[in-house]
Amino acid sequence: MTNIVIVGGQWGDEGKAKIIDLLSEKADLVIRYQGGCNAGHTVVTGDQTYKFHLIPSGILYPGKICLIGNGTVINPQVLTEEIENLKAKNIDTSNLYISPFAHLTLPYHIDLDELHEEFLQNNKIGTTKRGIGPTYIDKVGRTGIRIEDIYEKEALNSKFDMILPQKNMVLKQYGKKTYEKEELIEFCQKYAEILKPHVTDTTEITRNAIYKGKNILFEGAQGAMLDIDHGTYPFVTSSSPVAGGASTGSGVGFTHIQKVIGVFKAYITRVGEGPFLTELNNDEGEKLQQIGKEFGTTTGRKRRCGWFDVLIAKYSAFINGLTGIALTKIDVFDDFDEIKICIAYKDKRNGKLYHDYPANTYIHKHLEPVYETMPGWKQDISQIKSFSNLPVNAQSFIYRLELLTGIPIEIISVGPDREQTITRS
Ligand code: GDP
Ligand code: IMO
Ligand code: MG
């Protein structure tokens, strides 16, 4: 039995789904533990590309049990479409199970997300506008609708009696469409029926799996720097993408988890607003964006690009308790003469150097990255299958990152396809 958490080490889109897909082969269960359809997870197998928002990427393997845990927020319409799309591609979804404790993203959450962003104007977060923040606000405020509620008509009715006047008051005040209780009940009942075969006590499934010594993979969404507590607040998402979230978001105590693999891009991308010290607003950034095809999977927005940041990697390694790293997209550097790695931050006011990620977010605006430069390898590495066959400069880059982060790089991804992977342990 080996239970492994896969987390994003940076600001999301590190290639987590590709790594989940790779490791799913040996897993019995794959569990999504937080976030909602703000996530966009891409898996490429031969000529097929699959994009997941809510369903665990492990679903592509027949017979694999896939769970959407209590820590997630579910837009039932998006989930239903995702199930239908998979069925249309002959992918079996009968082993997909949803926690009754997961919260529902309802249409007013999406409106409120948009409204909130409008309000913030120049301070906007740049959310995916999928209603994620408002759904988690209701969860924490104890006014959320959970999956289990949609099967209890009376309870649902009285919950809407309690919640809806508040929502409508805000929506009306700002000239937005308001909602009738009946239409929302109808909406919930429609999806209650569709999703019924998938709703079950997911903790019972995980408990039995653990007692039988099965292998569980926990699929993180977003990334450590988007974590509500540990990320670049307020430019974060509203859940806990860090490894600790796997435990609370699935109901599996952390002593049942043996490994945590952080997925890192060989550079960094970020979608939406917020600080990003190694961001490149120049031709090099543009080159990374184009070669890396850095467009958001969910929103299609251009991703901001910059160099690998060791301070973030070390910070992320600690808060997630990483046991290993999966390094993705190093093939994007194939045509680069030089590659930079940020090894410290310098305070522009007094020259003070930081070798660890500073906790005081107010000083971030005074910092600039200090780089170390490594030579590129100027060679197509996308078909290389073993570490020893990588060009020496690519090997040196990997050894250097291992030394700087102190974490073994166990998986190296050299292309989007399942096959384009080098495994070291
Ligand atoms: P996730 O949200 O972390 O699962 O990542 P996304 O799917 O949003 O974005 C990662 C993108 O990079 C996807 O289009 C993947 O197909 C692609 N990708 C993953 N690994 C590699 C790699 O090693 N090389 C290249 N060139 N593309 C990759
Ligand atoms: P995956 O799982 C990258 C970002 C948004 C925004 C911030 C808050 O594919 O890595 P939200 O809609 O969550 O309230 O937006 O978080 N964001 C992501 N960025 N990858 C993601 O998911 C993201 N999910 C949310 O762009 O900056
Ligand atoms: Mg993504």
List C-alpha distances in Å: 407 to 275, 318, 398.
25, 10, 11
pLDDT above 90 (res 300): no
Higher pLDDT pick, 361 / 339? 339
- Rounded mean pLDDT, 144-158: 97
Cα torsion angle, 318, 319, 324, 327, sign: negative
pLDDT above 90 (res 187): yes
The pLDDT value given to residue 296: 85
Residue of 13, 225, 237, 264 to test ligand 1 pocket, by largest number of atoms within 8 Å of CB: 13
The pLDDT value given to residue 49: 95
Residue 234 contacts by C-beta under 8 Å, 6 or more apart in sequence?
A: 125
CA-CA distance, 20 to 320, in Å (whole number)? 17
The pLDDT value given to residue 361: 86
CA-CA distance, 188 to 155, in Å (whole number)? 12
The pLDDT value given to residue 360: 87
* Domains contained in the chain, CATH given: 4-99+199-260 (3.40.440.10), 103-195 (1.10.300.10), 266-423 (3.90.170.10)
- Rounded mean pLDDT, 8-19: 98
Q: Is the pTM of the predicted complex or chain greater than 0.75?
A: yes
Residue of 105, 137, 271, 297 to test ligand 2 pocket, by largest number of atoms within 8 Å of CB: 271
Three-class DSSP labels, 45-90 = ECCEEEEECCCCHHHHCCCCEEEECCCEEECHHHHHHHHHHHHHCC
Catalytic residue among 21, 28, 41, 92: 41
CA of 413 to the centre of ligand 2 (A): 22
Residue 336 contacts by C-beta under 8 Å, 6 or more apart in sequence?
A: 287, 376, 378
CA of 13 to the centre of ligand 2 (A): 9
The pLDDT value given to residue 298: 78
In the residue annotation, 13 being an active-site residue is answered as: yes
Terminal C-alpha separation, the chain: 16
Contact 373, 283 (CB under 8 A): no
List C-alpha distances in Å: 307 to 4, 216, 329, 424.
28, 33, 13, 24
Residue range 257-282, pLDDT digits in tens:
999 999 999 999 999 999 999 999 99
The pLDDT value given to residue 321: 98
pLDDT above 90 (res 204): yes
Q: Is the CB of 219 under 6 A from ligand 1?
A: no
Q: Which residue puts its alpha carbon closest to atom 8 of ligand 1?
A: 13
